[in-house]
């Protein structure tokens, strides 16, 4: 309040304000992330929310935290979990999540999207695939392979279990975003279990180039443990492979984003569809196996000749191996036929290095032009 002193009457009078009060405009910005020990999704208001979620005490006596993004719709519905970077250098999933949160609005959403852009914060910070324990002798732990409760693996095992209890167990569906290992490039492809009808529909609705069916008992116990553990908990889950490690690839990120938008629409979470179907595959090839071609017992400098998505007959030359003097060491041939799903981009090849993967095509799904699971 402004007060004026009048010397004529020795009294105080209230000055009239020169300007009327300016009402603040509503902001669409998300508040600064809050630090929490647990996520209470039911108590959140519709809109976007960012958190730092405490997982475990760290070696400084503080807390190891992961970033969590929540988008809650104005209408009730399921909780869809989207996880990324459980391998710390597989980065393409991070902008996929960011694009979803830029595109989907609370007014168009029925339910909640629970997203973790970086699951493996230690690997991410150190630009590594794996999680290093701080116990001095069990470094290089794969968090994805510790989701089944192997707490005897030290800090990494406890960290993985916290991820299951605080993230996985909150979800009704899970899309786990990965990428090819360092020094490899691949198609947009998905691992899914065809014997799980809900998971299989999720995979088809993402419209990738290839779906690798892991329905056999042996594969269920060896491939993509986070997805396997979720499915055992009756949470339909799939693993989405998006491009290379350590890079952002805009085209692959865009395709994965629109695939997820179509999948969300088919789960009936979007009041209005948002996917651009021109960005997605018109056909998806289904394979029941993924076969690997390697350098076997020889090493050298590798040049891969086969292209991604190319069909190669059995015994096709797929790569050349030379020594550092440029002399031929070996022409590598594929003992299998099928399409090339991923291939090596790193020319330095030790014995036993993976050259490419080949997927025999069991069937092909033709997608409709307006969404759905394909026909």
Residue 334 is predicted with a pLDDT of 96
Tens of pLDDT, residue by residue over 287-336, are 999 999 999 899 999 999 999 999 999 999 999 999 999 999 999 999 99
Among 244, 264, 288, the domain boundary falls at 288
> Which CATH number covers residue 340?
2.40.50.100
> Which CATH number covers residue 237?
3.40.630.10
Read off the pLDDT band of 200 (50, 70, 90). very high
Tens of pLDDT, residue by residue over 345-356, are 999 999 999 999
Name the residue range of residue 352's domain: 291-359
Residue 27 is predicted with a pLDDT of 44
Q: Same domain, yes or no, for 283 and 297?
A: no
Residue 237 is predicted with a pLDDT of 96
Task: Assess if residue 205 is contained within a domain.
Answer: yes
Q: Same domain, yes or no, for 181 and 254?
A: yes
pTM value?
0.89
Is the pLDDT at 6 greater than 80, yes or no?
no
Task: Assess if residue 9 is contained within a domain.
Answer: no
Q: Biggest alpha carbon distance in the chain?
A: 108
Q: Same domain, yes or no, for 190 and 299?
A: no
Q: In the structure encoding, which two tokens stand for residue 170, read together?
A: 């909150």
Tens of pLDDT, residue by residue over 26-63, are 445 677 899 999 999 999 999 999 999 999 998 899 99
Is the pLDDT at 22 greater than 50, yes or no?
no
Q: Distance between CA atoms of 276 and 282, rounded to whole angstroms?
A: 12
Per the structure, the count of domains in the chain is: 2
Q: Which residue is associated with the tokens 């492979």?
A: 241
Q: Which residue is associated with the tokens 């710390």?
A: 88
Residue 223 is predicted with a pLDDT of 61
For residue 236, CA distances in Å to 120, 173, 233, 239 come to: 22, 5, 9, 11
> Pairing relation of β-strands 184-186 and 338-344?
antiparallel
Tens of pLDDT, residue by residue over 78-132, are 999 999 999 999 999 999 999 999 999 999 999 999 999 999 999 999 999 999 9
Q: Same domain, yes or no, for 124 and 74?
A: yes
Mean pLDDT of 238-257: 95
Q: Distance between CA atoms of 62 and 57, rounded to whole angstroms?
A: 6
Average pLDDT, the chain: 89
Residue 19 is predicted with a pLDDT of 37
Percentage of residues of the chain with pLDDT beyond 70: 89
Q: Same domain, yes or no, for 311 and 240?
A: no
Residue 3 is predicted with a pLDDT of 43
CA atoms within 13 A on the CB side of 225: 16
């Amino acid at each position: 309040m402004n007060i004026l002193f009048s010397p004529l009457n020795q009294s105080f009078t209230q000055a009239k304000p020169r300007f009327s009060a300016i009402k603040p405009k509503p902001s669409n910005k998300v508040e600064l992330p809050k630090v929490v020990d647990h996520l209470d999704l039911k108590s959140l208001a519709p809109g976007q929310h960012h958190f730092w979620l405490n997982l475990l005490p760290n070696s400084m006596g503080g807390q190891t935290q992961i970033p969590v993004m929540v988008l809650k719709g104005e209408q009730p519905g399921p909780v869809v979990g989207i996880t990324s970077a459980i391998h710390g250098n597989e980065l393409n999933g991070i902008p996929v999540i960011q694009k979803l949160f830029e595109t989907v609005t609370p007014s168009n959403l029925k339910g909640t999207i629970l997203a973790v852009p970086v699951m493996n914060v230690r690997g991410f910070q150190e630009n590594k695939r794996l999680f290093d324990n701080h116990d001095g002798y069990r470094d290089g732990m794969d968090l994805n392979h510790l989701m089944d409760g192997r707490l005897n693996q030290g800090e990494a095992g406890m960290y993985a279990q916290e991820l299951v209890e605080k993230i996985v167990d909150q979800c009704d569906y899970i899309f786990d975003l990965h990428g090819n290992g360092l020094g490899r490039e691949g198609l947009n492809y998905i691992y899914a279990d065809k014997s799980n009808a809900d998971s299989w529909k999720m995979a088809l609705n993402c419209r990738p180039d290839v779906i690798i069916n892991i329905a056999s008992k042996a594969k269920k116990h060896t491939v993509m443990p986070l997805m396997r553990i979720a499915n055992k908990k009756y949470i339909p889950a799939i693993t989405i492979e998006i491009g290379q490690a350590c890079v952002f690839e805009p085209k692959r990120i865009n395709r994965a984003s629109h695939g997820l938008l179509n999948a969300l629409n088919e789960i009936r979470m979007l009041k209005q569809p948002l996917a651009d179907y021109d960005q997605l595959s018109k056909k998806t090839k289904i394979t029941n196996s993924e076969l690997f071609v390697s350098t076997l017992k020889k090493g050298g400098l590798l040049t891969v000749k086969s292209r991604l998505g190319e069909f190669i007959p059995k015994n096709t030359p797929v790569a050349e191996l030379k020594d550092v003097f440029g002399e031929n060491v070996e022409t590598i041939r594929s003992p299998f036929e099928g399409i090339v799903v991923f291939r090596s981009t790193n020319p330095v090849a030790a014995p036993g290095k993976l050259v490419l993967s080949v997927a025999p095509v069991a069937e092909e799904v033709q997608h409709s032009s307006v969404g759905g699971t394909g026909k």
